[in-house]
Amino acid sequence: MLFSWLKVALTLIFVTKTASTDLGQEQSILTQPVYYDCGSLIIYEILIQDMLYASGIDINEIASPFIELLYDLELNYRKIKVPERLNAPKSFHGIRPASNSFVIIDQMRQIVDLVVQMKNGHYIKCERVNESAPESPNIGQKNDYGYECGHDLFSHDIVQMSAGLARSNKVGNKLFLTHYQGPLYWPGLNYKIYPLSREKNQHYAGKISLVPENIYFIVISPTGEMIDVIAQLMSGDFIKCIRTTKVPPVLEADQDLRSGYLCGLEFFEINHMKRTAKLARARKLQQGKLTYPKEYEDSFFKGFMYPLFPNGRFYGTGPGHQSAHSIYHMSSTVRSAMGIITPCEASTREIEALSPETGNFICGYSNTGFSNKRLLELVECACKALGSVNRRYPAMYNGPAFDIRGPYVTWPIRKGIKVTGLPTKFRVVMNNECMLAGVIALDGKDTFYKCRRSNDNSIPGGDSDIPITEKLFLQDRKQIWTKETP
């Protein structure tokens, strides 16, 4: 209700006389004020301008540097907190806190954007609305648009994949499907929200690597229609992400794009590492009470450490997903396990990945056979368990490569069609992207050999004298860091 009255009060009505007829017609031109939609709040641009240019205001005292991923860590921006008196809360039947908003200005004190802080500590733009201007083309008519959420850009395929998971009747997916409550949509629509996944693997309860970020959500109607993508803010409220025809950058055939570091089952591309290091340098300039960057020194190196996340994510300052993931990093990568810091391996990854195995396998002199259908069922089980806490399997595979890229893990094949019980001497092998690589069998007490393809008797990756072993482990919370010179 407050928003409605304020909108009326700020509407400017101009009446002009026209002499085109003897009737002296009057033409009323209704000009709506420009405002910013910040999710739970509406903020009028004219009020922000009045604040910035009010007499006695010293911008240098109230503005602070704004070096964020939203503007690619540029140094030319500053932020000013918007006073609460300028906020117009959207009407909603329930009382819900609204997150703080900030005006971003350039070196000329011009308004660049209004932003709010997401739950992960990063920022997202409020939508600037000018109802007097001609409407822009309706991007909603396209079927292949993506969504821009702050510095993150989600493709159409990623959004639709998450929508498919939300519509699934699987119990594991239903755990994360919840009702939306807030002023973005009328309550009677009964919309639900589901965490958006950057990966093709589903969300599973009790997992480390696949726990949802719970920052970005897709909105689903009762009929299963995908409505929007929204982001959760610091105070628990939400803001709509912007529909866009932009697409995430395509990896080109460049050496840097294929280079990186392999830390256990996680691969970090060098470009993502460089951008994380750039973020670390920006944070060092404005560190204040921030935990990171943290000084690091050993007998070989002196510098700083900063958290690194996989799959394009960045460490933030908020209480969001970084508490659910304990993967850290800074510029030549090292991994911490049980307090021991050891270097990760420099690695390259081919951009064009080979397809997983599609045929049957046969093992040993007994000619024990396994159908591709059965192997894929086991891969699905292993994929669900990948990254789980307190499990022996999947186990780390050590040995010669298969045709698809690694790293690889093993999963026991049990008798009949069982997925539980004592392991047999056979293991299915998949990579960390849940792609079937092959089958191995025990050749002795601790060593294995590769089984052959049934159709042509060939061995995935070829024959090799390199011994094959597996390492059972109870997955602890790995910490991955990069180091950087000051």
Does residue 484 carry a pLDDT above 60?
no
| Under 8 Å between Cβ of 357 and 347 | no
Topology match between the domains 2-129 and 139-244: yes
CATH architecture under which domain 139-244 falls: Roll (3.10)
The DSSP output letter for 381 is: H
| Under 8 Å between Cβ of 454 and 373 | no
Q: CATH classification of 361-471, choosing from 3.40.50.2300, 3.30.360.10, 3.10.450.30, 3.90.1150.10?
A: 3.10.450.30
Arithmetic mean of pLDDT, 462-485 = 69
Does residue 60 carry a pLDDT above 60?
yes
AA identity, residue 328: Y
Query: Which pLDDT tens digit goes with each residue over 380-432?
Result: 888 878 766 567 888 999 999 999 888 899 999 988 776 677 888 999 999 88
What's residue 380's pLDDT? Answer: 86
Query: Which pLDDT tens digit goes with each residue over 179-223?
Result: 998 899 988 899 999 988 776 554 544 344 445 567 899 999 999
In this prediction, residue 147 has a pLDDT band, given cuts at 50, 70 and 90, of: very high
The mean predicted confidence, pLDDT, of the chain is: 77
Arithmetic mean of pLDDT, 342-348 = 74
Query: Which pLDDT tens digit goes with each residue over 228-237?
Result: 999 999 988 9
Q: Against a cut of 0.75, is the pTM above it?
A: no
Q: Residue ranges per domain, the chain?
A: 2-129, 139-244, 255-350+479-484, 361-471
| Under 8 Å between Cβ of 234 and 40 | no
| Under 8 Å between Cβ of 182 and 93 | no
| Under 8 Å between Cβ of 154 and 216 | yes
Distances (CA, A) of 1 to 92, 126, 195: 9, 21, 31
Arithmetic mean of pLDDT, 261-275 = 79
Bond preceding residue 249 cis, omega within 30 of 0: no
Query: Which pLDDT tens digit goes with each residue over 24-59?
Result: 333 333 456 899 999 999 999 999 999 998 877 888
CATH architecture under which domain 2-129 falls: Roll (3.10)
* Bridge partners (DSSP) listed for residue 468: 448
Instruction: Please list, in sequence order, all residues whose beta carbon lies within 8 angstroms of the beta carbon of residue 334, skipping any fewer than 6 positions away.
Output: 341, 342, 343, 344, 480, 481, 482, 483
Instruction: Please list, in sequence order, all residues whose beta carbon lies within 8 angstroms of the beta carbon of residue 485, skipping any fewer than 6 positions away.
Output: 302, 303, 331
- What percentage of the chain carries pLDDT values higher than 90? 33
What's residue 308's pLDDT? Answer: 80
What's residue 370's pLDDT? Answer: 94
What's residue 407's pLDDT? Answer: 87
Arithmetic mean of pLDDT, 351-366 = 82
CA dist 477 and 211 (Å) reads 13
In this prediction, residue 125 has a pLDDT band, given cuts at 50, 70 and 90, of: very high
CA dist 126 and 35 (Å) reads 10
CA dist 337 and 126 (Å) reads 41
Residue with the larger pLDDT of the pair 340 and 51: 51
In this prediction, residue 302 has a pLDDT band, given cuts at 50, 70 and 90, of: confident
The DSSP output letter for 19 is: -
What's residue 171's pLDDT? Answer: 52
Longest dimension (CA), the chain: 106
CA dist 43 and 38 (Å) reads 8
